[in-house]
């Protein structure tokens, strides 16, 4: 597994991360097997959120983590800020949420804490206070956001003493909004509309690593596009490229993301060790520029 620098080198980790949203109903034994498979494949970055499984995902991961003897060799990321029916970036909630995550994960520190979704009532000074307390206490080492646009990050950064090093955003071959607008500049079509403030270019300029969530999903959790008859053209192209590289087809959508020079880190959410090993073969695939564009077009995109 190749590695990448996250942020401006604050962390060097595997270029693929394992998302732990779906492990809540798994046994500790099975989660331990999943973690060990990830480590064997070179994945050392694990993504959580306090709301996944109502906290159970963190809890079962924490119990399975006992099998990992060298905690300092893995990176644990979690997110906070989503509550039951509203968002909350208040100082008190951030501090309380981190204490809960530390307890469930059975660890003394979190490598990266992300603010999960933008809070319309955010007070950046409160966020700054919370981050400073967490950082100075050693409970959180790095900070980031999820689903934030450039101006929201700029607002926070104006008050923070710590850098935002990650922005987690939805990206897959079928969900390419942040790429579409940059290709269709000065066009009077829907694809030319910049809906996110040029977040892709902004993050590259700012040294913020984009993490791609739901890299196999289309729409907003509408389903997966692999082997989906709705995406026959795309699947035919994926099959062709997979055969060219002699890898499972599940490796190609991840290789497509990894090919982008922004050094985006895909967050894969499989709970199946066999599928995990297959997907990890993406790290050995270096798509050509033509193959990248052919896959992009096969998903229904047209070049101007």
The single residue of 52, 202, 218, 296 carrying the catalytic annotation is 52
Confirm whether 52 is a catalytic residue: yes
For every residue of the chain, which 3-state class applies, written as one string?
CCEEEECCCCEEEECCEEECCCCCCCCHHHHHHHHHHHHHHCCCEEECCCCHHHHHHHHHHHHHHHHCCCHHHCEEEEEECEECCEECCCHHHHHHHHHHHHHHHCCCCEEEEEECCCCCCCCHHHHHHHHHHHHHCCCEEEEEEECCCHHHHHHHHCCCCCCEEEEEEECECCECHHHHHHHCCCCCCHHHCCCCCCHHHHHHHHCCEEEEECCCEECCCCEECCCCHHHHHHHHHHHHHHHHHCCCCCHHHHHHHHCCCCCCEEEECCCCHHHHHHHHHHHHCCCCHHHHHHHHHHCCCCCC
Active site residues: 52
């Amino acid at each position: 597994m190749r590695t990448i620098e996250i942020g401006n080198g604050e962390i060097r980790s595997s270029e693929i991360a394992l998302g732990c949203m779906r492990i809540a109903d798994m046994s500790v034994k099975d989660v331990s097997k999943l973690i060990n498979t990830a480590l064997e494949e070179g994945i050392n970055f694990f993504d959580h959120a306090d709301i996944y499984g109502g906290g159970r995902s963190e809890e079962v991961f924490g119990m399975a983590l006992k099998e990992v003897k060298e905690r300092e060799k893995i990176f644990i990321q979690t997110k906070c800020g989503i509550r039951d029916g509203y968002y909350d970036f208040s100082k008190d909630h951030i501090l309380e949420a981190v204490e809960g995550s530390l307890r469930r994960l059975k660890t003394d520190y979190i490598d990266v804490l992300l603010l999960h979704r933008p809070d319309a009532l955010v007070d950046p000074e409160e966020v700054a206070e919370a981050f400073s307390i967490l950082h100075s206490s050693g409970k959180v080492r790095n900070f980031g956001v999820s689903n934030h646009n450039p101006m929201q990050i700029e607002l926070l950064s104006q008050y923070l003493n710590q850098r935002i090093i990650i922005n987690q955003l939805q990206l897959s071959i079928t969900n390419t909004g942040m790429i579409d607008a940059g290709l269709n500049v000065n066009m009077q079509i829907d694809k030319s509309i910049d809906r996110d403030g040029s977040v892709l270019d902004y993050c590259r300029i700012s040294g913020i690593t984009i993490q791609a969530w739901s890299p196999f999903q289309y729409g907003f959790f509408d389903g997966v596009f692999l082997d989906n008859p709705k995406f026959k053209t795309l699947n035919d192209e994926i099959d062709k490229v997979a055969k060219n590289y002699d890898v499972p087809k599940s490796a190609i959508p991840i290789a497509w993301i990894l090919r982008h020079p922004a050094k985006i880190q895909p967050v894969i959410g499989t709970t199946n060790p066999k599928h995990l090993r297959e997907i990890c073969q993406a790290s050995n695939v270096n798509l050509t520029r033509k193959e990248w564009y052919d896959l992009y077009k096969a998903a229904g995109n047209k070049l101007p």
